[in-house]
Structures are given as C-alpha cells and as structure tokens.
Structure 1
Amino acid sequence: MVDSKNVVLQLIDIIETNFEKDLSMDKLSELSGYSKWHLQRLFQQHVQMNVGSYIRYRRLSKAAIMLKQNKCTVSELAEKVGFSSHQSFTRSFQQFLGENPHKFRMNPVWDFSKLLPPFLENYTLTYKYISIPNDSAAVNAYSFFLCQSLDKERLRRKKYGKCKLISLERLYKMKSQHRQATKKSTEPTIKCFSRVADFSFPHGHYLLISFCGVLEEFCDFFKHLYELHLPRIGAKVNDSFIIELYRESSSSTRELDIGILISIESDSDKYG
C-alpha cells in the first residue's frame, strides 16, 4: 500500500517544479495518477490546506523572492509563476502580502514571516538571535567572512563602498580551480574574503544560523535558505545583505563550519 504522505510529497514535487504550467486539479490528477477527490483528501490531511490554496500561496511566495532578486518586470514575473494576467497577479499579491509588487520590491525590510514555505521533509536548523555589540563573541569566534546580497538589484543600485560581492556558484568554481592549481603564487586566489578581526559589524539585532557539513550539503542548505528556512523562522530581515562567517578549517577535512549572519528587525521577546 502506498504511503499517503509519499503521495502528497510527489504531488508537492510536481507543483514546485511546474509553477508556470497548468496546475488545475484535472491536470494534477492526470500527472499523479490519483483521483481529484483522493488528492484533495490526502493533501488536506497532511498540509492542512486545500491544493488550490497551497498552489496560490506558493506561487505568490515564489514571486516575492523573485521580485527581490531579479530585475524582471511584474508582468514577466506573473507569467513565470503561472498567473494569467498582470492585474490578477497584482491583486492577489496585494491581498497576500499587504503591499503591491512595486512597493514590496522597494521595501528595505524583507518580511519572510508572510511567505508560505514549501511543504517538504523537515530540515534540521540550528539558529539563535544575537545582539551586537552584546554578543560580539559569537561573531568573533569565526575567522573570516564573505558578504552576500539578499537583494541583488537594490545592492547594485546602492553600490556599497568596498563591500566585495561574489555569487556562491562563482565562489565554488573558484575554490575548485584553486584546489587544482599549482601553488606558484603566494597571493590568495579568492580575494573576496575579509578577516573578521579587521571589520566592525554594525550594532543591532541579528539572526545567526549555524551550518556544519560538506560543500555539497551547504549548496543544498543555501538553496533552501530563502524559500524554506527564513519563512519557517518567520524572519524580518533588515537591509539587503547577509554575511557568511567561516572558521579556519584543516585541509585534512572537507567539512565547513559556517555561520549565516542576517540583520533583522528588533523584537524584544527574542532578546529577553
């Protein structure tokens, strides 16, 4: 007998990889091989909402992330997430997030608490709320850092001083090339890192997420950061960047020890 949760997870996978396509119950029934009634019953049982609501909220949540990280027009974005028109998308977005797409895109606070994360198997996440300078030791425990853009378009427009940015994909490629290269030069190949000891982090409240594992696991972890982890935490992110903190690691191990430092809005309940 097929596990009912596996049926739901298979349906979730179809939905998550086909937002721009027809996701009517008739189509989902055809793709999954189960009746519409059976799918709706199992979905409601495990996800606690009907299939139509899940698809709508996930499309809008996906669109919210794309608005922040891509420069496509609202019309282009609406089409990419499966809305039939610019008008219906804008109306639904306003109802779901309380802001129209343009205002949401320009808002310096990114409220992940309003987004619906995908219904997936649980990911173990270790995190804590810290305050700088009170909890500076938590940051100083790391050796160097890499600044990453949450909102690539706004960061590009502001042209943040000497803050060096590099995509994760490019970073991984550079690391791979560095490992394969001969050691003829003493100058480091990756120049985007800065020493933690040489930098004064802005005072304020932060979310510090911890990760330990190999590079492949970190790729998977980071891939789910915006859509899964931050919405589950309900983070309200300030500014437009995150900082990856790295500890010194031995060349004999492939494991990474990384802290993801994210500036968030103050919440007195989280800091006691």
Structure 2
Amino acid sequence: MREIKPNEPLVAALAQWIEDHLDRDIALPELAERSGYSVWHMQGVFRATTGMAIGRYIRERKLTEAVYRLRNTDNRIIDIALDYGFNSQSQFTTLFKKYFGVTPQMCRNNLSLALRLTAPLSYV
C-alpha cells in the first residue's frame, strides 16, 4: 500500500475543485481561501506535493480539456476559448501554440497529432 504524503488530501481537494471549475477564471486568492492558507503557502504546498506550480496545472488542464472539445465537437474555437476562461481567441491560440506547438485549428484538423495532455491529479 502506498504511503500518503501529509499534504496529498489538501492537494487532492484543490485539484477536484479546479476540475469542477475549469469552465471559468480561477483566481488563486479564491483557491487559497478554500485551502485555508495564504496564496503563497498554498502554492508552495501544491508545488512540493505535485512538482508543478498550481497556475501551470490550471492552465494545462484547461488546454487539455480544450483539446477534447476541439476534437469531439464542432464548437467554434472562440466559444471553446471563452468557455475555459480565456479572454480572447487570440490569447487562447497563443497559449495553445506555446504549449502544444500547433494552433487549435491544426489540432482540430489533424486528429493523429500526439499532444502532451495533462491528466487530472489523482491520489487513489
């Protein structure tokens, strides 16, 4: 049986809350309030437990879910961008291309592209 790290239950709860709210802007102060810690401390706990900054995790989860929507729906790219809390299609496309190396349209048009998707955190 795997040993549970001291902060895993907190990080798991934060990750679940993030999953439940990927469709909107997630403000770190709001997330910190849920954790009961300061933003600075919550970020440190998250990074120490997962090896990843919480802001990066949120962004990568949103981009990953956007990939699923691009590949499995006919929704307009602007609608997908706005649904995941991006300010504009331009901002979404810039971040998407920076992370995946292709534009959202290229992702939609080429389903065989292998992209590095970020799975939800799981501590089972």
Task: Determine the structure 1 residue equivalent to 2:14.
Answer: 11
Task: Determine the structure 2 residue equivalent to 1:109.
Answer: 112
Question: Equivalent of 1:100, from 95, 99, 103?
Answer: 103
Cα distance in 2 for partners of 1:108, 1:29 equals 37
Cα distance in 2 for partners of 1:104, 1:94 equals 10
Shift of 1:36: 1.0
Cα distance in 2 for partners of 1:101, 1:108 equals 11
Q: Which runs of 4+ in 1 moved over 3 A?
A: none
Question: Equivalent of 1:65, from 68, 76, 84?
Answer: 68
Shift of 1:79: 1.1
Could you tell me the percent identity over the aligned residues?
Answer: 31
The code of the aligned residue for 2:118 comes to L
Deviates more, 1:98-107 or 1:21-30: 21-30
Which structure is higher in strand share? 1
Larger Rg belongs to: 1
- 2:31 matched to 1:53? no
Q: How many residues align?
A: 119
Cα distance in 1 for partners of 2:103, 2:34 equals 34
Deviations 1:219-254 (A, max 9, x none): xxxxxxxxxxxxxxxxxxxxxxxxxxxxxxxxxxxx
Which structure is higher in helix share? 2
Structure 1 regions of 5+ residues with no counterpart? Answer: 123-272
Shift of 1:22: 2.8
Shift of 1:95: 0.8
Shift of 1:30: 2.2
Task: Determine the structure 1 residue equivalent to 2:121.
Answer: 119
Task: Determine the structure 1 residue equivalent to 2:94.
Answer: 91
Higher relative contact order (CA 8 A, sep 6+): 2
Cα distance in 2 for partners of 1:30, 1:21 equals 17
